Amino acid sequence: MGCDQSVVAVRTEADGERARLVPAGTFDLAHASAVVRAVEQAERNLISNGDVDLHLSALERIDGSGALVLARLIDRLEARGHRTRLIGDDNSNAVRLITLYRERAADARPKPTPRIGPLARFGVVTAALPGTVTSALDFLGQAAAAVPRAFLSPRSVDWSSLPRLMQAIGADALPVTSAANLLVGLIIGFLGVAQLRRLGAVVYVPELVVVAHFRELGPLVTAIIVAGRSGAGLASELATMQVSEEIDALRSMGFHPVSWLVVPRCLALVITLPLLTWIGDALALGGGLLATSAITDLTPRAYVLGTAETITGAHFLDGMIKTPFLGLIIGLIACGQGLAARGGAAAVGERTTTAVVLAIFGVIVISAVFSTLFTLLGI
């Protein structure tokens, strides 16, 4: 912004015992730096200790910023003991503006926020930990209490939202989870062929696909996708409701937010995740078929026969039994995070991110727990 320096100046003149300051030129935001420099220069040039007159007749243009700088100048002069006078009979606008900025200068100044070092920051997070754990347990308690309440007073739950939730969480996720499961089946197929071909045991690949996918990878991959998709969706929906006072409104009308909102969402997840996993399992078999047909001499018929021989209820059920629990953990984490949001748009973003991360991690933890359990029980 090229401003002509000579356009902005504050002339200092002596008038007997009084000093006269004459700001001249354009005292506006575009010339703010020049204005400040001119005013500082004038202050330094001021030698007398007597009264000061500020003449405003030479001002070509003044706006809020210029008025502010002159107002602060007068404040500083008066603080140093000079008596000041504003002379602007032909520029009453400027006089009123400068007076406005002087009048409205508040005595209260905000306290500067102390900077905290990394150690103190760590301390703050640790100190907040018990509170976080307590509120998490509190939420779990409320969720547990909501289950009998759903039976005893069914009107405490928003059942009418269940179809739409199942559509959004289940049906809308089907393309993504199906494609993912198909590709994972393909990957297991390629992996299996690569390893078993060395032993001449390619004929065991179908069994590998069944066992690996049905028992572990199918539920895990499907749950991770749903955790990302619906975890984000549910957390951001509830967080936005929280910050726009909708949750408060529900409570003021006698609803329990956990019963009304969280029960249908968890139920939708518990119902749809097994279905998504089931369909995913079927598609994974197709993926394995593609893989073996592409790179081995194993005929599709042989693959299908191999699969049919090894597919057992046990493999299928051992995988499926995890899915309602995976759905539940996604629901509880996403809804819990959403309801814990405080603040504005930034809080919604934070809670959504935390929900997705925790939900994915939770899904992996639950899968690991089940795997360990089944191995120990010899199932």
- The binding site for another protein (CB under 8 A) comprises 1, 28-30, 32-33, 36, 63-65, 68, 71-72, 93-94, 96-97, 100-101, 104-106, 108-113, 342-347
Between 155 and 342, CB nearer to another protein = 342
Between 128 and 294, CB nearer to another protein = 128
Between 48 and 240, CB nearer to another protein = 240
205, 305 in Cβ contact below 8 A?
A: no
Between 29 and 365, CB nearer to another protein = 29
Least spacing, CB of residue 154 vs another protein, in Å: 37
Rounded to 5 degrees, φ, ψ at 288 are -60, -40
Least spacing, CB of residue 78 vs another protein, in Å: 17
Between 83 and 342, CB nearer to another protein = 342
Tokens 């000093």, residue located: 19
Between 99 and 371, CB nearer to another protein = 99
Rounded to 5 degrees, φ, ψ at 295 are -120, 0
Least spacing, CB of residue 308 vs another protein, in Å: 56
Least spacing, CB of residue 72 vs another protein, in Å: 7
2, 35 in Cβ contact below 8 A?
A: no
Between 154 and 343, CB nearer to another protein = 343
Least spacing, CB of residue 109 vs another protein, in Å: 7
Least spacing, CB of residue 97 vs another protein, in Å: 5
Least spacing, CB of residue 295 vs another protein, in Å: 52
Between 27 and 214, CB nearer to another protein = 27
Least spacing, CB of residue 343 vs another protein, in Å: 4
52, 77 in Cβ contact below 8 A?
A: yes
Between 106 and 377, CB nearer to another protein = 106
Distance, CA of 230 to CA of 126 (rounded, Å): 30
Least spacing, CB of residue 110 vs another protein, in Å: 4
Whole-angstrom CA distances from 160 to 155, 166, 363 are: 10, 11, 28
